[in-house]
């Protein structure tokens, strides 16, 4: 599903260059739950942004669903993202002016689904995440856990090919973090492909495969199912 070859990301600030990622190779197949593990500054967020088609690599190749996407224009990448990739953010990324129902419904609106379809899909997701009772609440009325559940709901509403989660438990207590991890695991069991970035080894254990980054290099790749 995702194949990266020699991905390199270099940032330039005036005359200073810093290499964020260097010759990263990876393959992610459909249905996998891959965790990118690394300390702060290791390049995991940059890698996950490249995988999520948010950023472009400086060099190297990236294939997403069979398309070479590393040189695509903004608009083309945006079109691939729409409905194809769901994002879960560390700070939830909810729109303050929209309530739970509307936040989850938003991607469907952008994709111009009919009202009936939207109602059906949102109801299913609300029920699946057990947040139906919160549907009229606004983000500021929710706990951090509830916010992240809604964030996940919004990420899966379009039934995307890939879920990209960047430190999804970063703003949560460990108990709440566990709950989120359970939700992600169950989504994976349903067939969702998930790529998650984290700095917690404990959370990394939840994934089927762990890619460990350090200073922009892949240092180990641990495939649990093969162990």
In this chain, which stretch among 27-35, 88-96, 171-179, 219-227 interacts with another protein, using CB under 8 A?
88-96
For the bound state, the minimum distance from the C-beta of residue 107 to another protein, rounded and expressed in Å, comes to: 4
Cβ nearer to another protein, comparing 29 with 110: 110
**Integer Cα distance of 105 and 37 in angstroms:** 31
By CB under 8 A, tell whether 74 contacts another protein. Answer: yes
Contact between residue 160 and residue 141 where contact means Cβ atoms under 8 Å apart: no
65: alpha, beta or left? (left if phi > 0; alpha if psi -120 to 50): left
CB 129 within 8 A of CB 152: yes
Q: Running DSSP on this structure, what letter comes out for residue 109?
A: H
State the minimum distance, in angstroms, from the CB of residue 82 to another protein. Answer: 4
If binding is defined by CB under 8 A, does position 115 make contact with another protein? Answer: yes
Per CB under 8 A, which region of 17-25, 71-79, 124-132, 184-192 contacts another protein? 71-79
Q: Which of 111, 201, 202, 219 binds another protein (CB under 8 A)?
A: 111
Q: Restricting to residues 39-58, name those near another protein by CB under 8 A.
A: 45, 49, 52, 54-55
Q: What is the dihedral of CA 160, 161, 165, 169, to 10 degrees?
A: 70
**Distance of closest approach, residue 117 Cβ to another protein, in angstroms:** 12
Least distance between another protein and beta carbon 222 (Å):
28
> What are the angstrom distances between the C-alpha of 82 and each of 37, 95, 102, 190, 200?
26, 17, 17, 21, 29
- CA 156, CA 207: separation in Å to the nearest integer? 18
User: Is residue 96 within the footprint of another protein (CB under 8 A)?
Assistant: yes
Which position among 18, 68, 110, 219 is part of the footprint of another protein (CB under 8 A)?
110
Question: Interaction with another protein in 135-174: which residues (CB under 8 A)?
Answer: 154, 158
Are 137 and 131 in contact by the 8 Å Cβ rule? The answer is: no
Mapped onto helix, strand or coil, the DSSP state of residue 25 is: strand
Question: Contact positions toward another protein, by CB under 8 A?
Answer: 45, 49, 52, 54-55, 74-75, 78, 81-83, 87, 89, 93-98, 102, 106-107, 109-112, 115, 154, 158
């Amino acid at each position: 599903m995702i194949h990266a070859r020699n991905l390199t990301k270099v940032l330039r600030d005036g005359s200073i260059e810093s290499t964020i990622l260097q010759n990263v190779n990876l393959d992610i197949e459909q249905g996998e739950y891959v965790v990118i593990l690394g300390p702060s500054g290791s390049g995991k967020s940059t890698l996950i942004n490249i995988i999520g088609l948010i950023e472009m690599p400086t060099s190297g190749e990236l294939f997403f669903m069979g398309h070479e996407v590393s040189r695509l224009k903004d608009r083309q990448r945006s079109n691939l993202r729409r409905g194809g990739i769901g994002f879960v953010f560390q700070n939830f990324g909810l729109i303050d002016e929209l309530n739970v129902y509307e936040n989850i419904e938003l991607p469907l609106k952008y994709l111009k689904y009919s009202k009936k379809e939207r109602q059906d899909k949102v109801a299913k997701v609300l029920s699946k995440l057990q947040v139906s009772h919160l549907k009229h609440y606004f983000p500021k009325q929710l706990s951090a856990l509830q916010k992240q559940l809604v964030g996940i709901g919004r990420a899966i509403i379009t039934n995307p090919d890939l879920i990209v989660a960047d430190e999804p438990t970063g703003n949560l207590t460990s108990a709440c973090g566990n709950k989120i991890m359970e939700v992600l695991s169950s989504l994976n069991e349903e067939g969702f492909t998930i790529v998650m970035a984290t700095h917690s080894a404990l959370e990394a254990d939840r994934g089927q495969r762990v890619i460990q980054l350090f200073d922009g290099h892949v240092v180990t790749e641990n495939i649990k199912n093969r162990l």
